[in-house]
Structure 1
Amino acid sequence: MIRKVSYKDIDFQKYEKCLENSVQRNFYAKREILDFLCEAWELLIYGDYQYIMPIPIKNKFGLNIALIPLFCQQLGVYSLEKNTNVEQEFLEYFRVNYKIYLYPFNSSNSFEEQLAPKKNYIIEKTAYSSLKKRYYKGRKSAVKSAQYLNLQIVSLDANILNFINTHFKGLDKNSDKIFFQAYLEFLSAQAFLKCYAAFENDQLLSLAIVIQDDDTNYLLGLMNDPEFLNKNAASFLLDKIFEKEIANKKFSFMGGSIRGIELFFKSFGAELECFPILQNNKKQLLMSLFR
């Protein structure tokens, strides 16, 4: 039987044990990450934490609704083994007991019905030499042309933060940009963050912000100075990351719905990984008040 557990009543020892041993394990469901990103969150559990499903809660339109926070890509059901029947029970309980605006399940969740898919691109752990053979011809050429650049691991100093604030795309609200910087500083303090920079002499051309988990690296941001796009610094950076890390860790590009970006990810031999989402627009959300 599924039941709802408020945050203050969660047994976090059992929660973390289930998450760490789950076949769906990912970075987004870690307690410290949800605590930082979410206005509030609670939990659905099945049995004695055999299955868990974290639910972010936000007060929006005067309602407490289920809404994924910024910078959190996939949540959903976590368990020691997959079970479509149990996961379907979670989906049905969730629909009946929550006002849902946007909630993404993870790529390993499956249901008896088809939910809307969202795209992500990944590279599984593999030998770097094998991966490089899968690069598109144009990507191989771009990487080769940029080998004169200098790779550095950099910290979040004033110059790097200024580069991020200037060139990071996708955040229109100033409050979101402030929150993003705070999140970066939080991740850095927790030793989850690594920043790879491409330089030509002393000129910073491109920056890759990577979240490091035990078995996966997540691309949180890839920024370029548009004045130097012809230098192929972004291709250089990702290739160097794969050279250092891909034999030991899976790589997630954390997205891929924009055509040009999707093609860029695929050119490194990345594979499509879809995850199901549950989403309602404002009208549907308000109509749910009367059901």
Structure 2
Amino acid sequence: MPQLLQHNDINKAAWDACIGASGQRQVYALSWYLDVVAPGWQAVVEQEHGVYTCVMPLPVRRKYGISYLQQPLFCQQLGIYARQELRAEQATAFLAIVRQSFKYSPGYAFCTGNTSSLQSIAQQQGLQPIHTLYLDLGRPYEQLWKGYTRDRKYNLNKARREHLRLTRGHDIEPLIRLFRQNIAHKVYGGVDEAAYRMLRELYTVCVEKGIAELIYTLDEQGSITAGGLFLYYGGYITYIFNAADVSGRKSNGRTLILDDVIHRNANTKQVLDFESPMIESIVGFYRSFGPVPVPFYEWKYNRLPLPLRLLKQVRQQVLLSLQAGQRAG
């Protein structure tokens, strides 16, 4: 039977072995990754003779004395990772333990590898479908390039005419600086300094594990105008973070970066995960490279005592109204 384990009770070697052997393996679910993005994470674990056979990481946060689940930054998906095919009844048992242990979740995302197993219980469990974008790289570059939209091909040629140069980076600070100066002010509520500290720590450990690739574009003066961070694990190339300044956007620096990754990894058994948020303008940009939408489920529930539940609902409605007004403006 699955059981809830506190952080200190988790055997991380057994955990990572399970993630690596699972059909859903993702970098987000590895113990060292979770240690950075969700310190103190807990888990539901099924094991046999000390071997973890099925696991579900739980990014636990605590506020006002209440423990709840919330999807961490730099972690689009989590979910249930199983050595054998995940059964619907098995998933139901895992979710029941989570509901019993945590009264509230503003959002927990199950990985795309869980979608088929959860489909039959999605409505009953209150799971809502969302999607990301995957580009299968198992074709020659020429075929992948044909999947670009007409505008993307034009903008790629434009980037080349701008004489941008690509360079491999080893310092995350220029990318953070691009984001801080050009994008952070567009984020509702701003960006906490803790997010930048987390990104630095995450980059450092991913470099140590040998899975990080940092790419910058340089203009003719040698100034950095755009950058992208990619993580390679489990057959996925995850586009984890990116930014550009006005010059980089105008000269299509990120287009050049993404095309370079696609070109170098064409004809391999890998998938480029754009980690696409459900924001129309961003989705439109990513879709111009020819990926397909892939569904996964998000789990939101609120079983807090009535006064707290009502307060959360009011705050959520106010937040949505403010965001709608900001978009309209």
Same fold (TM over 0.5): yes
Secondary structure in 2 aligned to 1:208? strand
Structure ranking higher in helix proportion: 2
Instruction: Give the corresponding residue for 1:21.
Output: 21
Cα distance in structure 1, aligned partners of 2:39 and 2:215: 30
Q: Which amino acid aligns with 1:182?
A: E
Q: Aligned equivalents of 1:227 and 1:142: distance in 2?
A: 14
Q: Aligned residue for 2:111?
A: 106
Which of 219, 235, 240 is the equivalent residue of 2:255? 235
In structure 2, do the counterparts of structure 1 residues 167 and 87 end up closer, same or farther at CA, with 3 Å as the change threshold?
Answer: same
Cα 1:159/1:95, change in 2 over 3 Å: closer
Q: Secondary structure at the match of 2:146?
A: helix
Q: CA deviation at 1:90?
A: 1.4
In structure 1, the residue matched to 2:232 is 212
**Equivalent AA in structure 2 for residue 15 of structure 1:** W
C-alpha deviations, 1:194-219, integer Å up to 9, x for none? Answer: 11111222132211111222421111
Indicate yes or no: 2:285 matched with 1:259. Answer: no
Equivalent residue in structure 1 for 2:180, among 165, 171, 192: 165
Work out whether 1:223 is the aligned partner of 2:228: no
Instruction: Give yes or no for the alignment of 1:78 onto 2:85.
Output: no
Provide the rounded CA distance (Å) in 1 between the counterparts of 2:254 and 2:230: 13
How many Å apart are 1:269 and its aligned residue? Answer: 0.5
* 3-state SS of paired residue (1:176): helix
What is the TM-score with the length of structure 2 in the denominator? 0.80
Deviation of 1:277 after TM superposition, in Å, equals: 1.3
* Structure 1 residue aligned with 2:204: 185
Displacement after TM superposition at 1:168 (Å): 4.5
Measure, in 1, the Cα distance between the counterparts of 2:307 and 2:137: 43
Q: Give the Å deviation of 1:141.
A: 1.1
| Residues in 1 aligned to 2:147 and 2:175: alpha-carbon distance in whole angstroms | 32
Picking from 217, 230, 238, the partner of 1:198 is: 217
1:286 positional shift? 4.2
**1:99 & 1:186 partners in 2: Cα distance?**
33
Q: 1:128-147 to 2 correspondence within 5 Å?
A: 128-147=141-160
Residue 269 (structure 1) aligns with: 290
Question: For residues 71 and 250 of structure 2, what CA distance do their matches in structure 1 show?
Answer: 36
User: Which consecutive unaligned segments of at least 5 residues does structure 1 have?
Assistant: none
Shift of 1:97: 2.5
Query: 2:96 aligns to what?
Result: 92
TM-score (norm 1): 0.89
- Contact preservation (8 Å) 1:210, 1:217: yes
Task: Please give the per-residue CA displacement for 1:216-268, whole angstroms capped at 9, x wherever unaligned.
Answer: 11111221111342212211111011001243321111123110100111110
Structure 2: distance between partners of 1:75 and 1:276: 10
Q: Could you tell me which residue of structure 1 aligns to residue 314 of structure 2? A: none
Separation (CA, whole Å) in 1 of partners of 2:173 and 2:287: 33
**Residue pair 1:44, 1:52 contacting (<8 A) in 2 also:** yes
Distance 1:84 1:213 in 2: 27
Percent identity, aligned pairs only? 22
Q: Does 1:12 align with 2:12?
A: yes
What is the match of residue 69 of structure 1? 72
Give the letter for the 1:151 counterpart.
L
User: Any conservation in 2 of the 1:256–1:265 contact (CA below 8 Å)?
Assistant: no
CA contact (8 A) 2:71 2:109 kept: yes
Aligned residues: 288
Q: 1:156 touches 1:185 (CA, 8 Å); kept in 2?
A: no
Q: How does 1:122-133 map to 2 (within 5 A)?
A: 122-127=134-139, 128-133=141-146
Note closer, same or farther for the CA distance 1:78–1:287 as it changes in structure 2 (3 Å cut): farther
Seen in structure 2, the aligned counterparts of structure 1 residues 190 and 17 have a Cα distance that, compared at 3 Å, is closer
Q: Is the CA contact 2:156–2:252 (under 8 Å) kept in the aligned structure 1? A: yes
Kindly tell me: are residues 180 and 47 of structure 1, through their superposed partners in 2, closer, same or farther at Cα, counting changes over 3 Å?
Answer: closer
Change (3 A) 1:195 1:2: same
For 1:280 and 1:265, locate their aligned partners in 2 and report how far apart those are by CA, in whole Å.
30
